[in-house]
Amino acid sequence: MLHRSRLSPPSTGTTATRFVCTTSTRSILFRSIAAWTESGPQYEDDEGVHIRIYLQEAGSFEIQEYCNDGSWVRGATLPTALSGTSIAAVVYDMDGVQFRVYYQAPDLYIREHCMGSDGSGWYPGGFSGDKAPGQTQIGAFFAGSRGDVPEVYWMNIDNDIIRSVQTDGCWRTSKVVGPLMRGTRFAPAQWDDGKHVRVYYQAEDNCVLEVCKDDNGEWYAGPTVGEGSGEESDTTD
């Protein structure tokens, strides 16, 4: 049985979800990486805290899993993805622990790979987001207040931030905000099991802005989170 932590609204610069904190970065060793950890949200059962990291290793386009259930071991090898893909990983409890990993495939579509609660192995999920610019950012979380429905965010070819939500077995896609600068970075966040959703993004003047959704209502503009420096910055890879 999972031990669920109580979460308060996220502070600026954090991503709060029920069980998962997702991130994407690049370095000399790894093309891209996503992790959910015990830092804030956590997956914890009677045996302790469990950590999973998903990444592309140098020289490989496959997504590699690393697991820590007390010590680090190499886990499953997931499908081949676009080089430098953003990766969003989430975990939730529905008749047992389940995992979802979202990534951009070589054909530039957003894909889903899943591990069910029966532990029988990984399999391709039913989600397939629209074609997107290469290395588009991806974010995801689960909204438990609406029955453990996954939400996936990415930027499309029109430079809009797009949200896809699975309800009643179907994926429904809508625009959150845009068009924005090409390569704009953004961070979706939620608390109270998805009753409150925030998306933070960079505006053309480099300010960090916020759009908000509460109790599954309409999106509305929040306050300016951070002021830009006024200097031009490169937001593309």
| DSSP state string for 137-198 | -EEEEEEGGGSSEEEEEEE-TTS-EEEEEEETTEEEEEEEE----TT--EEEEEETTTTEEE
pLDDT in tens, 31-67: 455 544 322 224 677 778 888 899 999 889 999 999 8
Place of tokens 């499309």: 156
The number of distinct structural domains making up the chain is 1
pLDDT at 6 over 60: no
Q: Say if 20 falls within a structural domain.
A: no
CB-CB neighbours of 97 under 10 Å: 18
Alpha carbons 127 and 138: distance in angstroms, whole number: 13
pLDDT at 226: 85
Q: Say if 236 falls within a structural domain.
A: no
Residues 200, 185: contact at Cβ < 8 Å? no
Q: Say if 75 falls within a structural domain.
A: yes
CATH number at residue 58: 2.120.10.70
> Residue 208's domain spans which residues?
30-221
Q: Say if 206 falls within a structural domain.
A: yes
Alpha carbons 149 and 158: distance in angstroms, whole number: 26
Quote the tokens at residue 79: 């499908």
Report residue 149's pLDDT band, with 50, 70 and 90 as the boundaries: confident
Dihedral sign from CA coordinates of 19, 216, 150, 108: negative
Q: Say if 5 falls within a structural domain.
A: no
pLDDT in tens, 96-143: 888 999 999 999 999 999 998 887 899 999 998 889 999 999 999 888
Q: Determine which helix (DSSP H) or strand (DSSP E) holds 13, and give its type and residue range.
A: none
For 138, 190, 194, 231, the CA distances from 213, given in Å and listed in that order, are 19, 9, 9, 31
Q: Say if 233 falls within a structural domain.
A: no
| DSSP state string for 87-105 | EEEEEEESSSEEEEEEEE-
> What's the pTM?
0.79
Q: Say if 210 falls within a structural domain.
A: yes
Q: Say if 229 falls within a structural domain.
A: no
What average pLDDT does this structure show over 158-175? Answer: 91
